[in-house]
Every structure is written in C-alpha cells, then in structure tokens.
Structure 1
Amino acid sequence: MASSVSPSAAAPNGSVTEKGAGAGTAPPAAAPPSSTGMILKVLAILLVTVAVWLIPPPEGVDPRGMHMAGIFLGTILALILQPLPTASVALVGLAAAMITGTMDPGKEALTGFGNSAVWLIVAAFFIADGFLLTGLGRRIALWFVTKLGKSSLGLSYGMAVTDLILAPATPSNTARAGGVVFPIISSLARVQGSTPDTPESRRRLGAYLSMTAVQVNTITSAMFLTAMAGNPLAAKFAADNGVQITWGSWALAAIVPGLVALAVMPWAMTKIYPPELTKTPDAPGRAREQLHQAGPMSRGEVIMAGTFVALLLMWVLGSLLDLNATAVAFVGVAALLVTKVLTWKDMAANGGAWSTLVFFGVLVGMATHLNELGVIDWIGRSVSGAVGGLPWYVAFALLALVYFYVHYLFASNTAQIVAMYAVFLTAAVAAGTPPVFAALAFGFIGNLFGGLAHYSSGPAGVVYGSGYVPTKEWFRVGFLASLVNIVIWTVVGGAWMKVLGMW
C-alpha cells in the first residue's frame, strides 16, 4: 500500500472507506459479508425503523415526528452496521423519507445540501488536499523529528505538534493521521526494528507511537471547529438551540485544555503503554536525510503555507471582521485553484469531500426536520427528567459521562454527534447548565471519545489495521487514556471556561 493517503480515502464520518487509509503494513482484507449476515443487518434496521414509526406521537410532537424518528434511527443503525457504504446509506434513508411523505421533496428533504456548515467541511477537505499533494504536511512532520526525535517521547511530541499544526485546516482526522503522521511513525518504528510481527517487536516502539498518535488526534480534533468533520455540525445543532459558536470562540475555549492535554498525553502514554525502546538517536539524522532529498520548499508548498496562515488569521478574526467561516474556506480553495496548487481534477477525485456532501447533506436535513417536528425537544425533556432535581453541575457530569462512553456503541464520531448531540444539549440546558458551556463541552467530547476502541474513529481504524495494537490491549489503553482526557478537560477546561465567563 502507498505510504500516504489522500483525503479522498478518508470517510466523512471519521471512518475508513473502501479505498483504505493507512500506511506501512496494510490491514488484512476483510472477508465479504455472508448473505445471512447481510439479511440479519437489514432486518435489524427495518425492525428499529418500523418499531419507532408505530409509536403514537407524544404531546407536542408533529404527527410525522415519530415517522421521521424511525427513519432517522434506522439510518443511524445502518451507519453502524454498514450494510452499504456511508453515502449510500444516507441516500437510502433520504429516499425512504421522501417516498413515505415524511419529508417533502421540494421543501424539506434537500435543505441540508444548502447548509453552510456542510459546505465548510467540503471546502476544508479540498484545502487539506493541498497539504498532502504539495508534501508540506510531510515536510513539517520530518522537521519536528529532526528537532525532537532523539527519544521515543520526543518522537511522540514531534508528531503531536505536527498534528496540531495541520488540524485547523484538515477536517478529515483520518487523512491527517493516516496521510501524514502514521506513515512517518510506521517508517520510524521499522527502522528501529519494531514491526507488528511479534508482541516483542511491536511493543519495542511502534505500538506506543501508534496508540499515542490516536489519542493525540482526538485532542487536536477537539481544539478547532474545522479539525474534525462533525464539529461544524455540532455548532449548527447548537445554533438551532439558540447557542452561537464561532470558529474563534471554539478555539479560545479549547486552546488551554487542549495544549495541556497535548503536553500530558505522550508522557502519560509512557506510563500506560510504555515502549521498550526509549532512545532513538538515529531518527533525527534519517529525517534530515529525507528533508535533504526533498530539497527546498517548492512553489506549491510556499503558496500552501501562505494560504494556510491567511485562513487561520481570517478564521480567528472572523467575528471582528464579520467574515463567515464558510466564505473564508472557499476563498482559500479559490486561491489554491488560481495558483494551480489544486486543480479541478484534484477536487473531482476527492471522493471523501463529495461523500461528505451527500452524507452530511442528508443527515443535517433529517436532524433539522426532527427538531422542527418537536422530536428533539421531547427527547431532551425526557432525558432531563431523568436528572431532574439535581444541581446542574451534577446533572451535566452524568450526561457528559453517558455521552462519552456510549460511544462504545458507535463506529463514527459524526454518527453519534448527529444522533445524540442536540438531545444531550437540550437535556443539559433544561437541567440548568449554562448553554454555551454545555454546547462547547459536548462539542469537545464528540472528538475525545475517538480513541476508546479500535473502531471508534477513522484514525483508530488506520492504526488497528497496521497490527501494532491488538484488540485486548486497545480497550484497556483506550479507557485509561480517556480518563486522562476527562480529568484534564474537566479540571483545566472547566476552570478556563470559568475565566472566560462561559459558566
């Protein structure tokens, strides 16, 4: 398999598409699903859909509400069970909603395709192409290896800083991890004699670096609105509930706990999942050799770097200059097209971006329709009733923990965000939680749970497919790492958001 991956190989929901998204050792080819297994999956999806469809609409819910809820839940279950690829599942769900009259084709069914949050994600996928096609992302990673790569901990910090730099303009966390970070990790591990072939070999270095990269990726994804494809959707659902989140406000709230978590996590992983090799004196020299072979920065890399800095400035100052984040992203795409860093052929080949448009366009439309029909408010009231009477901070803590660990049931960050974010936000606010605090906290959690299991996110799938981290070890290490993140983001993040006046 190639040593890098384009964003088109990364699924919009944070999972790996059919093209694959890994480097180094290719994951073993999955056996085709049996016809019996496929039939059972379809029957389960139909059973859930019909069961919810037949529930009489509660008070305050439109008569079509439970029909929409049934189709929506059936679609989410199909995203988990994957009888078809992600975009195909979304289109089947949309077809069911239209043909049954649950969504009007002219007024309701296609509204998600006009949502600016969806197009922000699509535009950012194209911007991410620039890092990979020009080689700028790889150059940044190698440079940090030359400075920090004399130890396994230093290598881990180098990859962490690389991920952090790329995160604001790379909404495919799978492309970021699989296309830039993991190929270098795999190469470094193999040079040091660490392969997935035996437990002793993989634990020498590769397992530590790989698992740390996944946990770091969850943190960098949580730090910026444009660092993971589901984040703009969380902001959109928050806006539907009257809570406005901008690129700048998200980054400001996340910057302190995010930086602390990035400083702590690689070190914490040396205690949770220590490598046998702690010194790597040859790594900086090898990285310098590769940089020398690459030569000076190309015209495309220079333009990409300048465009990236300009985008960051416009996103950060967007609220002051009255600049829409989606408009800024398209200005970046236009600049890359005009300078021919990107071509329309490159954009047309980015299957991840177009799959994102279909997948998110459908699910955003469905989720918006559920809100309009009163279903989200009803579920939110029901959930908040379960924690009614508790102090808001206790109620929020319980809701946040449930929201975090229920991700064991999901194989996609975005699928859970679409299915549960609005419900939990509504419940938390109803319990008395300050709205901005709740909206941002659930937004952060929507990324931090991506390292829980080997199927929890796209980067997890890339690393698991390499063979460095077996399932049993992953569940143990993923859970312990999640505790580290929860403590940091609760204590440091909560205190920082208090300073900012968010609660």
Structure 2
Amino acid sequence: MAAAASINTAARTAKDTSRTAFEPARLIKAAICVAVTVAIYVVPAPDGLEPQAMHMLAIFLGTILGLILQPLPTAAVAIIGLTAAMLTGTMDPKTAAFSGLGSASIWLIVAAFFIAQGFVKTGLGRRVALVFISLLGKSTLGISYGLSAADLLLAPATPSNTARLGGILFPIITSISDVQKSTPESDESRRRIGAYLAVTANNVNAITSAMFVTSMAAGPVVVQLAADSNVTIGWGTWALAGIVPGVLSLLIIPALVYKVYPPTIKHVPSAQSDARDELKQLGRLSMREWIMAATFVVMLVLWATGSMTGINATTVAFLGVAVLLATGIISWQDMAANKSAWSTLIFFGVLVGMATPLNELGVTEWAGEMIADATSGMPWMAVLALLTVCYFLMHYMFAAELAQAVALYTLFLGVAVAAGAPPVASALMLGCATGLIGAMTHYASGPAALIYGAGYLKTPEFLKIGFLCGIVTVAIWLTVGMGWWKIIGLW
C-alpha cells in the first residue's frame, strides 16, 4: 500500500510538473539560462585557455544559473546541463561525463539518507529527539545550540563532515522536526522548525569543519599542500588557531539564522514535560532500536579511527546500510522509495563531474593568476584578506571543498607569501576557509547537498542564508581570528 501510494504521489507530481513546465515565468527563466550559456560559449577563449575550457565554463555557469533560477527541478537542470556538455563534445560520455556519479563522497551522502531512514523506522531517532527536547526544548534556538555543541564535540574525531552531519546529526534533526509535525510537504509545515534546524546545522557544520585538521576530508590534504610549500601546520596549531573564531562563530550563527530565517515555532512551553512523558511511555529500547544504536556506535568508532584503520568513510556508511538491510531494519523498498537520496545523487554527482574539467582544463588556475596580478604591490594584510574573500567566492564554481583545495590552495598560498604575508597564518587562513565554504550553496559540499536534498529549504533561501553566514564567518576569521593568531604568535 505504501509503495502504491508513493507511486501515485510521484505520478501526480510528474503530472503537475508537466502541466506547469510551460508557464511564462519558467520559460523566461529557461531563456535567461540558455542566453547566458550561449553568450559565454561563443566568446573567444582568452590567452591561456583553450576553446574547450570556455565551452565547459559556459555550460557549467549556465547550469548553476539554472539551479538558482529553477526553471525545472534541480536534478532535471543538472541532467540538461550534462546533456549539453555531451552534445557539444565538451565532455566525453565514455570518460568525464559520468565520473562524478562514481564519487565515494557522493555515495556517502546517499548512504546517509538510508541510515536516517533506519533511525526513523526503528523509533530510535524519535527517542533521541525527545531526549534533546526534554533537555533543551523550551526554545527552538536552544535545540539549535544543543545540536551545534554536538557537532563541535564530534568534529575532531569525524574526518568526514558528510558523515558527521548526514549519519549522526541529520537523523536527529529529522526526528525532532517530525515530533513537531514539521516536514518538507508544505511551506507552513517545513517552516515550523525543520527548515531552521536544517539550514543552521549546515552552516554550523561548515564552521566545525574549519576548526580542526581532522573535521573534514580536505583538512589533511591542505596540511600536505602546505607542507609541499614548506609550511608546517600541526594538528594542535590548527585547533588552537580555530578555537576562538570557531566558538565565536558557533555562538553567532544560530542566532543570526534565527533572526533572518525564524522558525514559526519559537517557544513550546509544554515541550519538555510532554517529551519526558512520552519517553516514559516508550519504556526501554526495543530490539530494533538496540540494533540501530549498536550499528550507529560501530559506525561512529570506525569513522573516528579511519586514519588508523584505513577504512574509508563511505565504506563505513555502506557497512551500516548493509547491517540495516540484513537485520530488516530497512528494506530495499524503503531505499528505492527515498526520492531525496536518488535526486541528490543525480544533481550533485553531475555537478561534481562537470566541475572537475574546469580544473583539468586550466580555468581555475587562469582565474587565480588574474587575482594574483590584481593584488600585486598591495600590503600583505590586504592581500590575504582579498585572497580569502576571493577563495570564498570562487567556490561558486566548485562542488566540493576538496576539489577547490586541490585546484587553488597552493596558488593562493604562494601569492599570499610572495606579498609578504606570514606563511603559517596564510596557510591556516586558506585552510580554515576551505571548511567555511562548505555551506554557501546547495552544491558546495556533501553536507550541503544532503541538507538541500532533504527538501526543507528552497533554493533562494539556501543561497541567501549560505552567502550571509559565509560572509559573517569569513569576517570573523579575518578580524577576531587574525587578532587571536597575533596573540598566540602565529604572525
């Protein structure tokens, strides 16, 4: 019955989409995307770039514009962009075109959706949500700070920020939202509490990713890239540098989002007592809850010890999914019906595949060299600030923090040091910025794609809040952070 209902719902959705696909507003948005793509596509390639590079840039920017304007659903826009790249010969369908769909990071996101299903189906997620509400449920803001504290506590020991948000915190968020009858089904419902908690958790995750070497996959890569440039960054140095601007950001961002994007449920006077009463009624954990909890703990331990065991974070996630399947906690029917997971796989996988050639064809290096020329002769503090802001803004061209670090980190670090900026402070600033960029768009990182795919936020909302929070956190790192780094002797 559930499967039939899901199919009927999908059919109605498809019918509604087809009925509105040719609305004037959608046609205008589509025309803008096509016009921008064609305009850039026909522009002669500047010195240093091949025509194919300009063609790839045109199609990528046109696709990104489509994701922003939304003439069609996100996954549909991504598929159309990929098709254009293949038809024009810009991407080879046998090699580059579908490479992003094979990314381990993207499949980690998909697995996180299935793990969240396990939390919901067993009732363990609801139980955990009730515990949070019983402790902090007087206000939505209080719950948000509780989740932020949990993220900070887990960050040093969870090298995958996607695993941390998707596998650990996301199920709690969805369960809390479900308890408060807040789902993505309607604007009124999602804005009750779910949308606020989701977008706040996404931006908090970017902050904690910036605070420790081991809180994101790109951290160790940044350390290695800095070492290749003769700059040594230790784990303790990064953690000490990140603690003050990081904690300040964690205090500011939930309140800032609460101000600009408030939930409709702000105070629930009876929430704590109701939660305690329901916990008493639930009684002891069921066998299914114990299995889910044990699976989760094992996954958390394996994620935390990945650097020692050599087990990839995606492997750990799929181990968890396999256990849940084998024990009947979730079924293949549950997984097949998870539209958010498969939609995220398509749109994020396609974007990662499209972003990679921009680096391989030299587009990112060309843009970086332009920035280096523009900063020549400026004071080092101004150069470092400008480079950091540019590094942040250039992430609109990337679909993962790691991809940007590999493409731009060494170049930007070299420009900063050449301008007279202290090497360690420069390396740390760009390294921390690699974490901060993870929430600015719905394709900026694995956690961002997961939160967007859950359906609580509309595209304009996601982009607006991501940009605002990103600018605020970058400003904190450039002011308070640099001041703190002066005190501890990093420059």
TM over 0.5: yes
| SS of match in other structure, 1:378 | helix
1-side partners of 2:345 and 2:473: how far apart? 31
Q: 2:439 aligned with 1:447, yes or no?
A: yes
2-side partners of 1:39 and 1:217: how far apart? 32
**Contact 1:212-1:269 at 8 Å conserved across structures:** no
- Equivalent positions of 1:88-237 (< 5 A) are 88-149=76-137, 154-158=142-146, 160-161=148-149, 168-171=163-166, 179-184=174-179, 214-224=199-209
Structure 2 CA distance for partners of 1:51 and 1:361, relative to 1, 3 Å:
same
Per-residue CA deviations over 1:123-182 (Å, capped at 9, x if unaligned) read 222222222332323322221222334567655544545677798444399966862344
1-side partners of 2:306 and 2:174: how far apart? 29
Q: 1:428 aligns with which of 385, 409, 412?
A: 412
1-side partners of 2:367 and 2:86: how far apart? 24
2-side partners of 1:478 and 1:98: how far apart? 31
* 1:266 Cα offset (Å): 5.6
| SS of match in other structure, 1:84 | coil
| SS of match in other structure, 1:340 | coil
Q: 2:385 aligned with 1:397, yes or no?
A: yes
**Contact 1:163-1:217 at 8 Å conserved across structures:** no
Per-residue CA deviations over 1:81-106 (Å, capped at 9, x if unaligned) read 11111111111111111111111221
Q: Which residue of 1 aligns with 2:286?
A: 298
**Structure 1 portions without partners, runs of 5+:** 1-5, 10-17, 20-28, 188-195, 198-205, 226-230, 451-455, 466-470
Q: Which moved more, 1:379-388 or 1:283-292?
A: 379-388
Q: 2:36 aligned with 1:44, yes or no?
A: no
Structure 2 CA distance for partners of 1:282 and 1:80, relative to 1, 3 Å:
closer
**Contact 2:306-2:312 at 8 Å conserved across structures:** yes
Q: Which residue of 2 aligns with 1:23?
A: none
**Contact 1:41-1:81 at 8 Å conserved across structures:** yes
Q: Which moved more, 1:315-324 or 1:261-270?
A: 261-270
1-side partners of 2:304 and 2:489: how far apart? 19
Q: 2:63 aligned with 1:70, yes or no?
A: no
**Contact 2:110-2:342 at 8 Å conserved across structures:** yes
Q: 1:368 aligns with which of 343, 356, 364?
A: 356
Structure 2 CA distance for partners of 1:33 and 1:319, relative to 1, 3 Å:
same
- Equivalent positions of 1:374-385 (< 5 A) are 374-385=362-373
* 1:384 Cα offset (Å): 3.2
**Contact 2:119-2:171 at 8 Å conserved across structures:** no
* 1:76 Cα offset (Å): 0.9
Structure 2 CA distance for partners of 1:214 and 1:369, relative to 1, 3 Å:
closer
* 1:50 Cα offset (Å): 1.2
| SS of match in other structure, 1:117 | helix
Per-residue CA deviations over 1:249-307 (Å, capped at 9, x if unaligned) read 9x9687775555445556788999999x9997643211111222333222232222222
| SS of match in other structure, 1:431 | helix
2-side partners of 1:237 and 1:62: how far apart? 29
Structure 2 CA distance for partners of 1:123 and 1:257, relative to 1, 3 Å:
farther
**Contact 1:157-1:266 at 8 Å conserved across structures:** yes
**Contact 1:218-1:449 at 8 Å conserved across structures:** no
Q: 1:345 aligns with which of 307, 314, 333?
A: 333
* 1:449 Cα offset (Å): 7.9
Aligned length: 437
TM-score (norm 1): 0.67
Bigger relative contact order, structure 1 or 2 (CA pairs below 8 A, ≥6 apart): 1
**Contact 1:168-1:224 at 8 Å conserved across structures:** no
Equivalent position amino acid for 1:77 in 2? L
**Contact 2:368-2:408 at 8 Å conserved across structures:** yes
2-side partners of 1:499 and 1:337: how far apart? 53
Seq. identity, %: 42
* 1:223 Cα offset (Å): 2.7
Q: 2:328 aligned with 1:333, yes or no?
A: no
2-side partners of 1:118 and 1:331: how far apart? 16
1-side partners of 2:298 and 2:457: how far apart? 32
| SS of match in other structure, 2:166 | coil
Structure 2 CA distance for partners of 1:237 and 1:33, relative to 1, 3 Å:
farther
More helix by share: 2
* 1:438 Cα offset (Å): 1.6
**Contact 2:126-2:175 at 8 Å conserved across structures:** yes
1-side partners of 2:489 and 2:289: how far apart? 40
Structure 2 CA distance for partners of 1:155 and 1:263, relative to 1, 3 Å:
same
2-side partners of 1:128 and 1:420: how far apart? 29
| SS of match in other structure, 1:432 | helix
1-side partners of 2:329 and 2:454: how far apart? 30
2-side partners of 1:356 and 1:175: how far apart? 15
